[in-house]
Amino acid sequence: MNRLTIWGLTSCLVSLMAVSGAQAQIAASSDAPVDVTADRLEAMNQNCSAVWSGSAEAVQDQSRLRANTITLYNQIIGGKAGNCGVLERMEAVGEVFYVTPQQTVRGDSAIYTSSNDILVMSGQVIVAQGDNVLRGDRLSIVVKTGQATMETGSKGRGKPGRVRGVFYPNKASQGAAVKAPPPRAVPAAAPKP
């Protein structure tokens, strides 16, 4: 390979890294790297975006975002095409799943906006935590605090399509974490004959 080809490949890789998921935040308050995989990556340096398509998945710590397509939009610095900064927005489309150790959230699409740290999932949203299930049309989550709002377009008692939750209050395993089983008693050593 000649120097021009090597320089071109190096420049392309640096640009890909600038619009990759490395600056994305999948797990709240985590400094762990974000590992993004897909069948295909298309990086568009002129608008500082990257489209991960074909069973796309972004993993950070124990949190996972899966979708048919995940698109990352980075800040354009100084209005100059190709001069990319930090992540501004992440969009996931098609069979979207956001999975943490505590919950699984499913929807048709999701948009994360870094300026306000809000993740909005829409389209037949289902949240499951243990046996508890919550359904609606649109879920907004402030990632840092975990504050969430579920909404639907349906209003009024008895109307179909309202926000619905089914909760099992007497289940011991509900909550933020599953408790470890108590330690087993170790039998005393048998006396020697």
Cα separation, 193 vs 183, whole angstroms: 29
Question: What is residue 26's predicted lDDT score, i.e. its pLDDT?
Answer: 63
Question: What is residue 180's predicted lDDT score, i.e. its pLDDT?
Answer: 35
Which residue is it, tokens 């109307």? Answer: 159
Question: What is residue 8's predicted lDDT score, i.e. its pLDDT?
Answer: 29
Beta strands in the chain, from DSSP E residues, in sequence order: 35-37, 40-44, 49-60, 63-76, 84-99, 104-113, 118-129, 132-142, 148-151, 164-166
Question: What is residue 7's predicted lDDT score, i.e. its pLDDT?
Answer: 29
> What phi and psi, each to the nearest 5 degrees, are found at residue 152?
-140, 170
Q: Report yes or no: 120 and 139 within 8 Å, Cβ to Cβ.
A: yes
Question: What is residue 25's predicted lDDT score, i.e. its pLDDT?
Answer: 58
Residues in the chain: 193
* Chain Cα centroid distance, residue 47: 23
Counting as low any pLDDT under 70, the low residues of the chain are 1-29, 171-193
Question: What is residue 89's predicted lDDT score, i.e. its pLDDT?
Answer: 92
Question: What is residue 27's predicted lDDT score, i.e. its pLDDT?
Answer: 65
User: Whose CA is closest to 139, among 157, 147, 151?
Assistant: 151
CATH class of 3-166: mainly beta
What b/e sequence results for 160-177 when a residue is b if at least 16 CB atoms lie within 10 Å of its CB, and e otherwise? eebbeeeeeeeeeeeeee
* Separation of first and last alpha carbons in the chain: 79
**What is residue 181's DSSP assignment?**
P
| Domain chopping of the chain, boundaries | 3-166
Question: What is residue 144's predicted lDDT score, i.e. its pLDDT?
Answer: 81
